[in-house]
Amino acid sequence: MMAVFYKSTRFLGCCDSRMTMRYKLLGRTGLRVSELCLGAMTFGDDWGWGAPKEECAAIVDAFGEAGGNFIDTANYYTGGSSERIVGELIASEREHWVLSTKYTLNMHPGDPNGGGAHRKSMVQALDASLKRLGTEYIDVYWVHIWDPHTPVEELIRALDDVVRTGKVLYVGISDTPAWIVSQAITLADLLGWTRFAGLQIPYSLLDRTVERELLPMAQALELTVAAWGPLGGGLLTGRYGTDRDRPEDTRIAATGAHGESQLTERRLEIADAVNAVAAERGASPSQVAIAWVRSQQARGVIVPIVGARRRGQLEDTLGALTIELTLDELDRLEQLTRIELGFPHDFGAGARLVDGDNGSLIDDRRLARATA
């Protein structure tokens, strides 16, 4: 079964005709990616809570019909099944899709080189991903997670080499400290090697800690942010709240003690707030949660990664494209979910000591650019 890619900018069948998928440039490149990215971690039922291939095909069709062209997987997802399914579903329209996958997580736990960011791991993982995906190249190749044992110089040079071979077109990095990413980009720029174009990080109303360092860094270095977990692993879908029974057929429930640890009082109160805003405006909680992430563009270029186990779930998610939260709604959610930035961000005396009595008279070019 092949997924069909629709070039029309209008939603066909599944979605409101008022919705039009827009596109963003990936980092300092000319590559156009849809404003939502389809995450394929749920493709394949090998882990006990994913979707079978037939349902994956329906999900990809719905995303393509909506104008989506950006799909993200990883060699590790469902033991490689996700890559195989994605590759088969987009094969007939491969050139239309911006296909991204990731490496570094250990695929062979007994092998010390079965994972990691080093060159041997990269070469082996890339060739295996190309085979599973049934393609000659990957549009965006992500470093899945920080490997503290691999020198940054080795990583950046190896990534540049695979770009020069034509097997990879663009590169990005995920789940890595800001200082490591900054160091890597500085080296790439100085040495004329391929720089990162994107950054994958978790971002949602439940987890805003990336606002301290990672989002400001991404904005300063012109990295497009692919935000994973915008629904908090399912907690912001409307099925959870302080007034609701715990469902048993969710990913949170399937992950046992780890999932249960996510259901803290504060997180459930945030779910309550999202549920309330959704009920008041006649939207779904998922739509409100994703609309909030989309509303944070002043912090950088942000593309939410959305996943689903059923076509209907994705169709609901796509409805977020029609929602623009009001200032009152944004303020309610802000008051409940804001975090303390910590030192030195909230060192209030800093600006006064630098600017003296002139702080209010100085225009910040960064703020001007963000609101333009």
Beta carbons within 10 angstroms of residue 243's beta carbon: 9
Question: Contact at 8 Å (CB) between 265 and 255?
Answer: no
**Is 6 a catalytic site residue?**
no
Beta bridge partners of 200: 174, 226
| 187 contacts: CB under 8 Å, gap ≥ 6 | 152, 153, 156, 193
Buried b (16+ CB within 10 A) or exposed e, 335-366: eebeeeeeeeeeeeeeeeeeeeeeeeeeeeee
Question: Contact at 8 Å (CB) between 69 and 98?
Answer: yes
Which three-class secondary structure state does DSSP give residue 168? strand
Q: Which of these, 230, 104, 127, lies nearest to 175 by C-alpha position? A: 104
The residue type at 40: A
Beta strand pairing call for 32-34 and 23-25: antiparallel
Buried b (16+ CB within 10 A) or exposed e, 217-242: bbbebbbbbbbbbbbbbbbbbbbbbe
Task: Write down the catalytic residue from 76, 77, 141, 240.
Answer: 77
What does the DSSP 8-state code read for residue 322?
A: G
What does the DSSP 8-state code read for residue 195?
A: P
d(CA 180, CA 198): 14
Phi-psi region of 234 (alpha: psi -120 to 50; beta: other; left: phi over 0): left
Supply the residues annotated as catalytic.
77
